Amino acid sequence: MSNIILEVCCGSADFAVAAARAGADRVELCDNLVEGGTTPSVGAVDVAVVRSSAPVMAMVRPRGGDFLYTSSEFDVMLRDIDALAQVGVSGFVFGVLDADGRVDRKRTLRLIEAARPLPVTFHRAFDLTRDLDESLDTLLELGVDRVLTSAGCASVLEDLDQLSALVARADGALVVMPGGGIRPRNIHRVAAVPGVTEIHIGATLRRESEMKYRRGGVPMGAAYEPDEYLIEAADVERIAATKGRLSDAATPGREGIVDV
């Protein structure tokens, strides 16, 4: 279990740098975490690649919402892959579905081809498909390197049997990477699933802005009203604790960590 790769979802270049320092083996860099992550800017990726000690996977998602994209949105995804590859990203994370809730074979293949030779992860759009087994078989046929999944649930802890079945079905041909609801207190349960070699976590906290002058009553958001004086940052304590629990789980005599 000590060899399990810990990937951390990060919302900024600073977030990615802090996550790597706290123990992340790899970071997934996104923008707009409140929407589940969208494509980060080329500048953010460039800075993260230069300053982070961990490999940087870049999200390629043109907007929040569903994963059924217009032709223009899909063209944006292809162009973003080209631009991000030029600043040294280590790989890409994306997901495209058709209107019937299946993996869009044609478009996924085009994205894979655009990304090569870099590795690709199909993200949790997978969990919104109509049949997880069918979707996994499609990803295997297309040659995806990794799939991020919560086993079709809000939290992967809700159905570890389904996670185990997906790992067994993949049989090492692609990495089934669990994510969703994983915390230091329960990561040993996920790590104990046979065949799990990588784990994805979120670890976000909100820190106070350093602004001294503050003007209230002028929100910058439309659909919701964010607090402009709270900033998303890496929860380095959670990342370090999660990494520590992985090491504890691999130490003889410490397998029975209590889930509290």
Q: What is the pLDDT of residues 181-197, one digit of tens each?
A: 999 999 999 999 999 99
Identify the residue with better confidence: 255 or 51: 51
Mean pLDDT of the chain: 91
Residue 252 in this model has a pLDDT that exceeds 90: no
Q: Taking a C-beta distance cutoff of 8 angstroms, is the pair 129, 150 a contact?
A: no
Structure tokens at 105: 């074979």
d(CA 253, CA 250): 9
Q: pLDDT (tens digit, 9 = 90+) per residue, 143-179?
A: 999 999 999 999 999 999 999 999 999 999 999 999 9
Return the CATH number at 121: 3.20.20.380
Domain count, the chain: 1
Q: Taking a C-beta distance cutoff of 8 angstroms, is the pair 167, 177 a contact?
A: no
| Backbone dihedral angles phi then psi of residue 39, each to the nearest 5 degrees | -65, 125
User: Using CA of residue 82, residue 29, residue 189, residue 253, what is the dihedral sign?
Assistant: positive
145 occurs within a structural domain: yes
Residue 158 belongs to domain spanning: 5-249
Of 63-67, 181-185, 220-224, 245-249, give the lowest mean pLDDT range. 220-224
Q: What is the pTM of this model?
A: 0.86
Q: In the structure, what pLDDT confidence band is assigned to residue 206 with cuts at 50, 70 and 90?
A: confident
256 occurs within a structural domain: no
Q: In the structure, what pLDDT confidence band is assigned to residue 226 with cuts at 50, 70 and 90?
A: low
258 occurs within a structural domain: no
255 occurs within a structural domain: no
89 occurs within a structural domain: yes
Structure tokens at 125: 């759009």
Structure tokens at 132: 């997880």
CA distances in angstroms from 144 to 37, 40, 77, 120, listed in the order given: 20, 21, 17, 6
Q: Taking a C-beta distance cutoff of 8 angstroms, is the pair 233, 14 a contact?
A: yes
133 occurs within a structural domain: yes
Question: Rounded mean pLDDT of 221-246?
Answer: 76
Q: pLDDT (tens digit, 9 = 90+) per residue, 83-142?
A: 999 999 999 999 999 999 999 999 999 999 999 999 999 999 999 999 999 999 999 999
96 occurs within a structural domain: yes
Give the burial string for 99-115 (b: 16+ CB within 10 Å, else e): eeeebbeebbebbbebb
260 occurs within a structural domain: no
Amino acid at 221: G
- The one-character DSSP state at 181 is S
What pLDDT does 26 receive? Answer: 98
